[in-house]
Amino acid sequence: MAEELISLIESRLDRRRFQDQHWTGSFTDYLALCQQNPGLLRNAYQRLYDAILAHGCERYKLFKKDCIRYHFFSDPFDGGADGIYGLDFALMQLVDFLRSASEGYGTDKRILLLHGPVGSSKSTIARLLKKGIEHYSRTADGALYSFSWLLDEHCAVSPMSPGAKNAAMTHEFACPMHEDPLVLVPREAREALLGKLNEAWKPKHYNGRLRLYAEPDPFCRRVIEDLMTFYGGDFKAVMNHVKVRRIIVSEKDRIGIGTFQPKDEKNQDSTELTGDINYRKIAQFGSDSDPRAFNFDGELNIANRGVCEFIELLKLDVAFLYDLLGATQEHTIKPKKFAQTYIDEVIIGHTNEPEYKRLQSNEMMEAFRDRTIKIDVPYNIRLDDEIKIYQKDFGPERIRNIHIAPHTLEVAAMWAVLTRLEEPKKSGLSLLQKLKLYNGKSIPGYTEDSVKELKEETAREGMNGISPRYIQDKISNALVGRQAIEEKTINPFMVLNELESGLSHHSLINDENIKKRYRELLAVVKEEYEDIIKGEVQRAISADEDAIRRLCANYNENVRAYTQKERVKNRYTGRDDEPDERLMRSIEDKIDIPESRKDDFRQEIMNYIGALALDGKKFEYNTNARLYRALELKLFEDQRDTIKLKNLVSSVVDDETQAKIDVVKQRLIKQFGYNDASATDVLNYVASIFARGDSKGR
């Protein structure tokens, strides 16, 4: 059995890939690799930009603007666990920043600051960039190399034996900052080397040149000096002590990814960024200024050639922010007791609005502001994108023991988006209608240009409102509530109740006027949900295809006779009668066709049928969406009394009615995704609406 499990494990492993990712060779071998693939020398910005573009993108129009969706941000690395939805404009700005930095246009000397309200995916974006560069370094296109020194056991340059011309190479000491082996090339030879590599380099996504500004870190510089002295300036002999190896960017292994999080101010120390003295080695090397007695393991050190994330950047002590000035503008850091040390990394910070306002008001931080490029990361303002966030956490693949009734996540998302929208300035347009327009729904009287104008007239839309975290917390509360556990289901009303009750002690909302507005929006959402389920019950009741097909044929026959000024043959009496005006108007009224527009609508239907016939197609009852909706509502009205839906609210239901109700319930389950309990709840609720006389269709 154990052997079988071992075989199962081995079958999932790729030994060849492992060997490729752990390649080692000489300095000469690495030069040959660079000649074949000059892109090995790309800087951190170029690598990150290529990592994003490697997953492709798609272009589309949003609010009449060109928009790009980069698949990288859908999290292909973890099956969409950190996928980001609805922030394509902000992510386009981020990718444009990286493109500019890759070209060397100056943004490579800036801090990328993600700014937005709490829970707007700032941390998730940073996490995706780190995961992405880590994944990219495992691919052939993203291969990354560093080196180790082969020295004696004391990390010193000493002869192999008394009088030997070669130094000992018994122990391996890795470059502490994972630098590219080509930093070892003397400056006198770099221009010629880069010229050769740039001639052969054909980048896919930008025109930036390969550059090599770096100098070896203090440790490597000391080793080079000692070896050059030992070999009398013989560079080739010195390079025999270099073992080049492929490295994989890894946050867990502290290679190429650093993350710094502010702590208590009294315990913060800038050495966390730039490394510190190893006091245990001072006795061995005799000085605290010997680089061999220094740990180059600060976050900025280990993030070299990759990404360094600063969590809540503006909460950092001022001393830390000063370190970032040189790290961005000059690409250097200042380890204690050593000269400026070159770094090549993308520095990303994120912060919320109160902290950013404090930065703006602090005149002493003008230099830091000048080195910062801010990208606003707002909340979603499109309903479908917001729903995807909750489907990711509460979809059927995650929640299996409790049924989440249809529209439960939708109404929570709808309320969240409504709190983030600014009131429309156009008279007669409600906030809910604005939400629907943003979500791509057509509303009479509004075009794509109207939607673009609505978006452009807003100042801070998406920067305020309810956080997705609050919604997630309240959905979770509903899932673990007593009612959900007993009934094995949750419905929209349970979640709406949780959302409302949580407002009274919401930690981020102190303004009672805002709470009042949010409660009013909950009432709007509840009313919209009632309309949705009334429509679904109506469709379920009127889902008799044969009946609706007969009704459609009857309507079309009368409309044809009306428009052709002919009479209709009565199938029962055999007489030729006038077109049935009462029937036609009873259907047209359902979709608000006024008396004055009936002739135009009927002619439109006939023209539509004729156009289909010319194409060899047949008109069906569901071919025209508006007519189909009208037929559904008419059939519902005709059948509602026979089903006696209102009787559901009473304690006595006859067998015939119950049989018809069961048919409707099965349609709700099959067509709309309800289970038995939630379908019963919806039928009971809609029945209570009709019992009080509210039978208005959607």
Examine the domain organization and report whether 522 and 572 are in the same domain: no
Q: How confident is the model at residue 524 (pLDDT cuts 50, 70, 90)?
A: very high
115: β partners: 351, 376
Domain membership flag for residue 196: no
End position of a domain, from candidates 465, 500, 526: 526
Examine the domain organization and report whether 416 and 490 are in the same domain: yes
Q: How confident is the model at residue 297 (pLDDT cuts 50, 70, 90)?
A: very high
pLDDT exceeds cutoff 60 at 696 = no
Examine the domain organization and report whether 558 and 608 are in the same domain: yes
* Tokens read off for 513: 């006027």
Nearest to 441 by CA among 426, 429, 458: 429
* Tokens read off for 11: 């079958």
Mean pLDDT of 343-365: 86
* Tokens read off for 282: 């001072």
Q: In sequence order, what DSSP letters do the residues of 378-427 get, joined into one string?
A: ----SHHHHHHHHHHHHSTTT--SSEE-TTHHHHHHHHHHHHHSPPPSST
594, containing H or E segment: none
Mean pLDDT of 389-407: 89
Please count the other Cβ atoms lying within 10 Å of the Cβ belonging to residue 178: 23
Examine the domain organization and report whether 588 and 510 are in the same domain: no
* Tokens read off for 655: 């067998």
Q: What is the pLDDT of residues 181-213, one digit of tens each?
A: 999 999 999 999 999 999 999 888 888 889 988
Alpha carbons 177 and 557: distance in angstroms, whole number:
82
Alpha carbons 683 and 689: distance in angstroms, whole number:
10
Nearest to 243 by CA among 18, 27, 34, 20: 27
Q: How confident is the model at residue 651 (pLDDT cuts 50, 70, 90)?
A: low
pLDDT value, residue 579: 87
pLDDT exceeds cutoff 70 at 264 = no
Angle in degrees, 0-180, between the axes of helices 598-614 and 581-588, rounded to the nearest 10: 90
Examine the domain organization and report whether 507 and 575 are in the same domain: no
Domain membership flag for residue 275: no
Q: In sequence order, what DSSP letters do the residues of 133-196 get, joined into one string?
A: HHHHHTSSTT-EEEEEEEE-TTSS--BSSTT-SSB---EEEE-TT---GGGGS-HHHHHHHHHH
pLDDT value, residue 24: 95
pLDDT value, residue 642: 54
Across 342-346, 451-455, 528-532, 616-620, least confident range: 616-620
Q: In sequence order, what DSSP letters do the residues of 615-672 get, joined into one string?
A: TT----TTTSHHHHHHHHHHHHHHHHHHHTGGGGGSS---HHHHHHHHHHHHHHHHHH
Examine the domain organization and report whether 503 and 548 are in the same domain: no
User: Domain total for the chain?
Assistant: 2
Query: What is the residue range of 434's domain?
Result: 383-526
pLDDT value, residue 649: 46
Give the phi and the psi of residue 12 in degrees, each rounded to 5: -90, -5
Domain membership flag for residue 323: no
pLDDT value, residue 179: 96
Whether the Cβ atoms of residue 130 and residue 308 lie closer than 8 Å to each other: no
307-310/294-295 β-pairing: unpaired
CA dihedral (198, 330, 345, 364) in degrees, to 10, reads -150
Mean pLDDT of 370-396: 93
pTM confidence score: 0.85
pLDDT value, residue 374: 93
Mean pLDDT of 127-133: 96
Angle in degrees, 0-180, between the axes of helices 512-541 and 492-503, rounded to the nearest 10: 170
End position of a domain, from candidates 641, 663, 686: 641
Alpha carbons 380 and 275: distance in angstroms, whole number:
40
Q: Give 651's Cβ-side CA count (13 Å radius).
A: 0
* Tokens read off for 42: 């790309």
Q: What is the pLDDT of residues 62-118, one digit of tens each?
A: 887 889 999 999 999 998 889 999 999 999 999 999 999 999 898 999 999 999 999
Examine the domain organization and report whether 509 and 558 are in the same domain: no
Whether the Cβ atoms of residue 246 and residue 253 lie closer than 8 Å to each other: no
Examine the domain organization and report whether 505 and 547 are in the same domain: no
Q: What is the mean pLDDT of the chain?
A: 88
Whether the Cβ atoms of residue 138 and residue 247 lie closer than 8 Å to each other: no
End position of a domain, from candidates 473, 502, 526: 526
Q: How confident is the model at residue 265 (pLDDT cuts 50, 70, 90)?
A: low
Buried b (16+ CB within 10 A) or exposed e, 58-73: eeeebbeeeeebbebb
pLDDT value, residue 644: 56
Nearest to 489 by CA among 588, 403, 415: 403
Examine the domain organization and report whether 393 and 432 are in the same domain: yes
546 or 586, which is more confident? Answer: 586
Examine the domain organization and report whether 609 and 519 are in the same domain: no
Examine the domain organization and report whether 548 and 520 are in the same domain: no
Examine the domain organization and report whether 434 and 481 are in the same domain: yes
- Residues in contact with 638: Cβ distance below 8 Å, sequence separation at least 6, in sequence order: none
pLDDT exceeds cutoff 70 at 646 = no
Alpha carbons 498 and 502: distance in angstroms, whole number:
6
Instruction: Please state, in angstroms and as integers, the Cα–Cα distance from residue 12 to each residue in 75, 411, 494, 537, following that order.
Output: 22, 42, 44, 49
